[in-house]
Amino acid sequence: MRPLYSLLLYLLVPGVLLRLWLKGRRVPGYRRHWRERFALQVPGGEGVIWLHAVSVGEVRALAPLVDALQARYTGRPVLVTVTTATGRQTVRQLFADRVMCRYLPYDLPGAVERFLAALRPVVAIFAEVELWPNLYAGLATRGVPLYLVNARLSERSLRRYRYTGGLMRSTVGSITRVAAQGEADRMRFIRLGVRPDHVTVTGNLKFVVQLPGDFQLRAQQLRAQLSAKHPVWIAASTHDGEEAVVIRAHTEVLGHFPQALLLLVPRHPERAAALVRRCGAAGLSCSLSSESPYCGASVLIVDQLGLLVYCYAVADVAFVGGSLVDRGGHNPVEAVLAGVPVISGPYLENFSDIYALLQAAGAALGIDDAGGLSARLLAWWDDPQARNRAVRAGREVVGKNRSVLDRVLAVIGPLP
């Protein structure tokens, strides 16, 4: 079945190239380095430790693991591959020149062969759920151990993968070990075909995220720039379909706190111009973080990568996006560590274990619409003591789950 799969991929190549070109109109990074996606530019080396993370969230989750591996195997080259332009930017922000960074090649037989022949990795470590039949087969042929870490598998994804029958069974048969986020994920990987003794529950690596070393200084500078004495809330990593709800909620909040400030941080910064128009249509004054200092607008749209964690620090409450639309939610741990309680929508599939613990502790609350969002905001502003209790409870939850990294490293074991 793999030859048929490969033929289909080759037939899709023209459409894929067109999609890259179109996406590059908004995000130039998609047009740059396109040769890497066909393994026409591959870094070489001896003893390369290779990790793969799709985009921003996965890169941040793998960051502590990258640091630990570099500390343990000093001098070995490390390659981090990504799929998105924002993921690539995040690798550069977190690691600078400490690691090599490339786009993951498409799962074409020729590209896979060129990539693995040039790279010669000693290990492949993939984040969450990335299943590529040709790539996995190539790793197995070369005897390269393959680990899925922070692995998760939703019921919907399981059903989709099982439609492929023998193709996916042979693919997962190439996996050395799976470090699953939770017991439900473990059982789904077993149902997919991974041997039960090859799957271990280690917890979620996203509990191990660290605040940057300049966190306190940058947070103080941002507070001074914003003169943040009025109520401030943040809508973080929002998607299309969520901003309309956020803007309606902020309009309701302004009826109670006319000086309130919303920090609106879209998941994809290139959507900022559209959000400016949307705020204007709602009668809200707004400015962009990239264009001018904050000048008293009621909405500051953060259109620069790398600022989100510092924005959490100046907010009183955080709404974490990807949760009011069916995107599975985004990681709330940075918000908790930065000192804000969390509000989310109902779509939390990607972080269900983390949100379950935070909600049980009272550190996160759920809403379904603009009315619920504004009501939660106002309730926490009216009761600072309850807000502080939520922050303390959230930090306790995170602190109790920091040993995940040690468990993941134990699953990987000594490298060749």
Active-site hit among 58, 242, 243, 349: 58
Give CA torsion, residues 4, 113, 101, 13, to 10 deg. Answer: -40
The answer for residues whose C-beta is within 8 angstroms of residue 62's C-beta and 6 or more apart is 51, 53, 80, 125, 127, 149, 150, 205
CA atoms within 13 A on the CB side of 232: 20
Query: What is the bridge-based pairing of β-strands 286-288 and 299-301?
Result: parallel
Query: What is the bridge-based pairing of β-strands 146-151 and 121-127?
Result: parallel
Residue 303 backbone zone (phi > 0: left; psi -120 to 50: alpha; other: beta): alpha
| Sheet containing strand 342-344, strands side by side | 286-288, 299-301, 261-266, 232-238, 317-320, 342-344, 364-366
Q: Which of helix, strand or coil describes residue 121?
A: strand
151 phi and psi angles, rounded to 5 deg:
-75, 135
**Exposed, middle or buried, 155 (CB in 10 Å: 0-12/13-18/19+)?**
exposed
Is residue 58 flagged as an active site residue? yes
Taking the alpha carbons at both ends of the chain, their separation in whole angstroms is: 32
Active site (catalytic) residues: 58
